[in-house]
């Protein structure tokens, strides 16, 4: 490697590779340092990419992106011990380009993005772990593999994910707190394509994204997910670290509970485990954002905490791509003006908003009050199922008005004060 680079990007995930493609497309060839043996080798996620942002850097991305299935059905299910209640949405237009969302496997997706970055002119070094950063006389000094080597750079993009070494050692933030981080545990289960189609009523390359609230989490803040791939299913749980500790339960146990629920069991019956993986997610949202720029350095993707979790949407890859592009634009602009001051780098916020990163996070900054409300995980799914069971019950001779059912099941058990508080938080968080 040479003595000093114009732009070094740490991390070849969606954020780092998107920054690399933007810069290389605009005449600045960056280097990307990736600790994995190849981009994507260490990466996992639930499975759905809301990928339209990709057309800003790869206009014909739909011709080559390795899609497993298109997401044409979305379902949210509330689980109690032995029942479930779901909302399902199908939209025919989601079968058509540019598609609302699609499932991918991260090793294939990240590898594809890396090939695009190399085609554009970026150089990727795999198997290189950045262990520290220092700033000396306007030069960024990166420590590699615990000091066995050093690299110097004029500018730096930290795209090294939720545990970002650059963010922590560069003084941008300390580690996220246990309330701001969740652990995702996922199993990939092989099942023949025709069996998946039959079980989920899908055709061709259609797929479903199903999220779950309630029973299986044993009260822990978080939820379950199930996404269909071409001939496999991604199934997992996401649990807040602070809440896991409080309830002293392991994520593996929660995943087993979830898979064993009577509503889930038949969906995955006979499927063979292909892979088991775990990863952290920064879920603090807008309120937990760190300092985003300074000292010729920009934080992008999970390193900056750009994940939107509203309880209805869990989106990180699209924000990683968008922030990678915005970081690339900021550095491109700095080179055009030959201005590498913090003032020049502060344009990053403006570029982030061109892709609705900061303003979306800001809009849903209070969603944490909903997703971390213990009643959402311990009480509401049970009550919802009780009420719906009552409504669908054909054996009652004497019917009761629904308002009395709601009063009996909801208001009495939750209490007026809590109910009003929860309704207020939902309105404030989402509407």
Ligand X SMILES: Cc1cc2nc3c(=O)[nH]c(=O)nc-3n(C[C@H](O)[C@H](O)[C@H](O)COP(=O)(O)OP(=O)(O)OC[C@H]3O[C@@H](n4cnc5c(N)ncnc54)[C@H](O)[C@@H]3O)c2cc1C
Nearest approach in angstroms of CB 396 to ligand X is 41
* Smaller CB separation from ligand X, 126 or 418: 126
* Smaller CB separation from ligand X, 39 or 311: 39
Nearest approach in angstroms of CB 69 to ligand X is 13
Taking a C-beta distance cutoff of 8 angstroms, is the pair 328, 334 a contact? no
* Smaller CB separation from ligand X, 167 or 267: 167
* Smaller CB separation from ligand X, 43 or 100: 43
Helix and strand numbers, DSSP H then E, in the chain: 17, 19
Residue with structure tokens 């810069």? 23
**Within a 13 Å sphere around the CA of 189, how many CA atoms are in the beta-carbon half?**
20
Backbone angles phi, psi at 293, to 5 degrees: -140, 160
- CA dihedral over 259, 264, 266, 269, signed as positive or negative: negative
215 DSSP assignment = G
Nearest approach in angstroms of CB 188 to ligand X is 12
Nearest approach in angstroms of CB 224 to ligand X is 11
Taking a C-beta distance cutoff of 8 angstroms, is the pair 10, 301 a contact? no
Nearest approach in angstroms of CB 143 to ligand X is 10
Q: At what angle do helices 14-25 and 106-120 cross, to 10 degrees?
A: 20
* Smaller CB separation from ligand X, 107 or 379: 107
Taking a C-beta distance cutoff of 8 angstroms, is the pair 335, 7 a contact? no
204 DSSP assignment = T
Tell me the C-alpha to C-alpha distance, in Å, between residue 167 and each of 115, 156, 161, 395.
27, 11, 10, 61
**DSSP letter for each residue of 159-190:** ---TT-HHHHHTTS--PPPTTTEEEEEEEEEE
Nearest approach in angstroms of CB 403 to ligand X is 38
Residues binding ligand X (CB under 6 A): 10-16, 33-36, 39, 42-43, 45-49, 129-130, 159-161, 165, 184, 186, 236, 238, 279, 281, 301-303, 307, 314-318, 320
β-pairing verdict for 181-190 and 149-158: unpaired
Nearest approach in angstroms of CB 275 to ligand X is 13
Tokens encoding 193: 């394509």
* Smaller CB separation from ligand X, 39 or 284: 39
* Smaller CB separation from ligand X, 311 or 409: 311
């Amino acid at each position: 490697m040479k003595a000093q680079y114009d732009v070094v990007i740490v991390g070849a995930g969606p954020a780092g590779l998107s920054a690399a493609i933007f810069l290389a497309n605009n005449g600045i060839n960056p280097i990307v340092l990736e600790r994995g043996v190849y981009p994507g080798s260490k990466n996992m996620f639930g499975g759905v990419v809301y990928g339209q942002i990709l057309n800003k850097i790869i206009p014909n991305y739909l011709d080559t992106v390795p899609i497993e299935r298109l997401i044409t059905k979305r379902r949210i299910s509330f689980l109690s011990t032995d029942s479930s209640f779901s909302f399902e949405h199908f939209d025919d237009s989601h079968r058509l380009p540019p598609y609302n969302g699609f499932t991918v496997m991260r090793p294939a997706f990240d590898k594809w993005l890396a090939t695009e970055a190399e085609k554009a002119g970026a150089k990727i070094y795999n198997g290189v772990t950045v262990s520290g950063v220092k700033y000396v006389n306007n030069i960024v000094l990166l420590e590699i593999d615990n000091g066995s080597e050093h690299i110097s750079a004029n500018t730096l993009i930290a795209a090294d994910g939720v545990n970002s070494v650059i963010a922590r050692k560069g003084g941008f933030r300390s580690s996220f707190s246990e309330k701001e981080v969740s652990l995702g545990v996922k199993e990939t289960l092989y099942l023949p394509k025709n069996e998946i189609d039959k079980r989920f009523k899908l055709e061709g390359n259609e797929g479903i994204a199903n999220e779950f609230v309630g029973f299986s989490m044993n009260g822990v803040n978080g939820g379950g997910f199930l996404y269909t791939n071409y001939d496999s299913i991604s199934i997992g749980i996401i649990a807040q670290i602070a809440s896991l500790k409080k309830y002293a339960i392991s994520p593996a146990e929660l995943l087993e509970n979830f898979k064993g629920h009577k509503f889930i069991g038949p969906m995955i019956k006979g499927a063979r485990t292909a892979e088991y993986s775990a990863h952290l997610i920064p879920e603090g949202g807008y309120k937990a954002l760190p300092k985003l720029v300074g000292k010729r350095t920009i934080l992008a993707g999970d390193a900056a905490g750009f994940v939107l979790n509203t309880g209805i949407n869990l989106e990180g890859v699209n924000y990683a791509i968008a922030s990678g592009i915005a970081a690339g634009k900021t550095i491109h602009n700095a080179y055009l003006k030959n201005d590498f001051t913090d003032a020049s780098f502060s344009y990053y916020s403006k570029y982030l908003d061109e892709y609705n990163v900061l303003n979306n996070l800001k809009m849903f900054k209070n969603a944490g009050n909903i997703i971390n409300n213990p009643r959402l995980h311990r009480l509401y799914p049970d009550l919802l199922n009780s009420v719906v069971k009552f409504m669908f019950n054909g054996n009652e001779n004497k019917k009761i008005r629904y308002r009395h059912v709601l009063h009996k099941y909801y208001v009495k058990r939750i209490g007026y004060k809590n109910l009003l508080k929860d309704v207020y938080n939902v309105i404030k968080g989402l509407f």
